[in-house]
Amino acid sequence: MHVIDSHTGGQPTRVIVDGGPDLGTGTLAERKLRFGERFDDYRMKAVLEPKCSDAMVGALLCPPTLPDGDCCAGVIFFNNSGYLDMCGHGTIGLMVTLGYLDKIGLGKHLLETTVGIVETELLSSNTVSVENVASYCLKKDVTIDVDGLGPVAGNVAWGGNWFFLVEQAPIPLNRSNIRALSEAATEIRRALVQQSITGVDGAEIDHIEFFETPEDGPADSRNFVLCPGLAYDRSPCGTGTSAKIACLAESGKLAPAEEWTQESIIGSRFRGVYRRDDAGRIIPTITGEAHIYSDTQLIFQTGDPFMHGIG
């Protein structure tokens, strides 16, 4: 399996260039379902330990499904626990990878994802802007009771994935607290399920995001994001930043075209702005940097007891 590895603000992306499963025809959503039902061993072989860490997000390159040929590629994102609808840092890493492979040049390119088409722009060999899917705040000021934390208030928002956004982090957002933050976010996620707090149509809220205001530096906010596989996001999280921008816009705290700088817990940054489309929906654009660090072949030897990863 030929893969290209990059990191976006510290968060890794593994793009399967060759040797992935043949998912046949149909929409990307149908192919994603087929991927999980019939070819999940490819996901496990690509991103589970011992081949990489829990932080890795995979991206399977697919032929786009739309007949007009406007999209440069299609993509299905996945991680250590399953499949993602959209991934902001992964999209940035993917577009830098396509540039590295000379499949695209500088400029704007459409990318087909399982939740719709996103417009990207390769600004340099390492810098990408992603105009994400329409994002919105579904529920404001939701208070839940969390074991060990007590009442916790947050917003439920969509930015390509479902998020519960907690404005006041339960403990300071620094690296020494990553384990404690992960444990707190896990308890919040459990409480959301127990108290039947969901996204649209009962969708699980599988991303938890904490915020605080940095004491110094150029960022407007620092965040901590716990991903579905219980690994924290090293980047500021593209879909999480989109969800944050949607909440700020809908509360009147951020104007269209006004820039928002989101910093991750390790100090990497995304710049975000938004516009409103003809229907009045919030369309965020996230800009960040990715760097290639590996161009390699994964080898699957007969007799390897952990060929399919450590489950």
Give the catalytic positions in this structure. 87, 237
Nearest to 6 by CA among 128, 76, 93, 78: 93
Q: CB atoms < 10 A from the CB of 18, how many?
A: 9
Helix (H) / strand (E) element for 47: namely: helix 40-47
In angstroms, the Cα distances linking 97 to 106, 109, 128 are 12, 13, 11
Helix/strand/coil (H, E, C) string of 82-146? Answer: CEECCCHHHHHHHHHHHHHCCCCCCEEEEEEECCEEEEEEECCCCEEEEECCCEEEEEEEEEEEE
d(CA 244, CA 237): 10
Chain centroid offset of residue 231 CA: 12
In angstroms, the Cα distances linking 92 to 8, 118, 297 are 7, 11, 22
- Which phi-psi region, left, alpha or beta, contains residue 23 (left: φ > 0; alpha: ψ -120 to 50)? alpha
